[in-house]
Structure 1
């Protein structure tokens, strides 16, 4: 298998042909990648396909539904749907593609192992696999206003976090986005909104380096925010030589088994979404780490199953394949792929010094 350094260089060179890479943000990404194997995992989905090929090639023959791709414990968050219901689920779909179903499960399992939670790795695998089958059989969005109120304990936003959100937005440096990004951002505003300023935003793990802009506007007595992020081909397709493959973002966001965010739109090569304190990715902190348990991991597994169930013609094939598998299968695959990630991580740390 090609060394990580070589593949990372090839991926970043390709990125430079596909968008106007923000080199300063790419340098930040490099720094983050050497801090922990978990952050390294988040930043390197393009490498995942090659790890699967080299360490678990049997995965490649499994049914391939529309999948998240870059699954991990920090790729979940909240938004409001067209009925203003609070929804929880996967909220970053940059690497959506048609991928063997086990990949999403193994990557989520590996992320738990690499993040070093108190929960045992076997318990984590059992919870994820059990939730996944439930999501396949009873697909649907996770609605926090009705059926899944218990999740509010994991995603609630404090007054301090609301203040921090606006501090972050106010701290974004002023910028003049390219015409395409400006058009996308302005097109996402409600009628009568008055634009105040454009700015550049640095955020994310694997997407660091892509152009990302925000527009702050005033509307009906208060400020609102829109963000535009450049859309690229999924890292899975890139790794398999399909460098110009279409992105599946729009299909996965609006999948039949989900309650989509009506403020999430696509145009001019950018994804545009509304930003607010309670429309957010739930990232790790000390409180989150203490709360992560089997119940939350079952919910994460169920969300993945529900997304895969959108590929309805494959659901029975996936369920039939699962009949011959158990949590130990997922646990061992998670361990195997984690070891590959850690080997790449050590190579990267040695190179960075």
Structure 2
């Protein structure tokens, strides 16, 4: 099955779970041609399908609750219940049980492909070493969240540099198109439950964002509250694409809430699941960090080390399964991650080129 056939099959599988927005899918397909990094972000389903064959020696590594769709732009900031600024992985849409190594390989491949797009200036070998060192040390230490209020000065500077201008942020929210037609009570009831005040009047907007989830329903409730604007988002999740790759039906349990609750992290109190809907507060201070927004002067190796450590924070949430990981790592050569990342980079580029050639015709 080539990338074109895989995409069609996956979208049919997805549509059996939720009606897809065809205009958003067309946008997604177009963005996938722009860079190999964008292609990687949009095609977790393809990764799940091919990586067990490309990295056959890793397919039998210890399995645990993993991010699955991990990449260098799957990190961001939020405020915890104490109001502290936290940095870490902020998207568990595709979370599933799979070999721990997949997350590490995908993270390194994303760094390499982001480098091709001139977002990250780091070689694959350097990225592999930084990610693996951070992961190993994080696992051995039992993890520790990245609280930016007092420590991690360098990371705080990176994070605060990318924080959005509040004026521009709220203008962008206000510019979102109003929802046309009716929306199910399931959505409005869920959004109303997480608004700051019962009975608050709000406008319902449609939001187009992300890449992997592009095509699925996404709504924003925008309101005025006590002197300023507030926003809550409802994003429709579906079963992890790993289930599709395994030939399973899309009826598997969503792991998003479990990942939030069990990972070593300081949670965002405004993020939760309500049925198949992910609910969260939208704010200029709680957002994904885009690589293009980072300061030009930064230490990529240090950043990737932190990403490796944060991956350990998430994997440590599976307390029983993580116990087998140090033993597995000790039995592998020092170059296993480099080799796997190179192989998956080659495979991803092959798929991307086939995709772009088809869509250029």
Aligned 8 A contact 2:161 2:294 in 1: no
**Within 5 A, what are the aligned runs for 1:149-188?**
149-157=153-161, 161-175=165-179, 176-188=182-194
Residue 210 (str. 1) matches residue 216 (str. 2):
yes
**Within 5 A, what are the aligned runs for 1:75-154?**
75-116=74-115, 117-138=120-141, 139-154=143-158
SS in 2 for 1:59: coil
Deviations along 1:254-307, one digit per CA (max 9) or x if unpaired, are 114121111112114210100000100001216456535111100000000111
Aligned 8 A contact 2:263 2:315 in 1: no
Name the CA shift for 1:147/1:261 in 2 (closer, same or farther; >3 Å).
same
SS in 2 for 1:194: coil
Residue 276 (str. 1) matches residue 283 (str. 2):
yes
Aligned 8 A contact 2:161 2:295 in 1: no
2-structure distance, mates of 1:158, 1:240: 38
**Within 5 A, what are the aligned runs for 1:255-294?**
255-285=262-292, 287-288=294-295, 291=298, 293-294=300-301
Q: TM-score, normalised by structure 1?
A: 0.95
Name the CA shift for 1:256/1:281 in 2 (closer, same or farther; >3 Å).
closer
SS in 2 for 1:258: coil
- 1:193 is displaced (CA, Å) by 6.4
Aligned 8 A contact 2:264 2:317 in 1: yes
- 1:345 is displaced (CA, Å) by 0.5
Residue 346 (str. 1) matches residue 345 (str. 2):
no
CA RMSD of aligned residues (A): 1.7
Corresponding residue for residue 58 of structure 1: 57
- 1:182 is displaced (CA, Å) by 1.2
More displaced, 259-268 or 102-111? 259-268
More displaced, 173-182 or 39-48? 173-182
Among candidates 197, 201, 212, match of residue 195 of structure 1: 201
- 1:150 is displaced (CA, Å) by 2.3
2-structure distance, mates of 1:289, 1:19: 41
Q: TM-score, normalised by structure 2?
A: 0.93
**What is the count of residue pairs matched by the alignment?**
352
Deviations along 1:210-234, one digit per CA (max 9) or x if unpaired, are 1001001222221110011001101
Corresponding residue for residue 245 of structure 1: 252
Gaps of 5+ in 2: none
- 1:239 is displaced (CA, Å) by 1.1
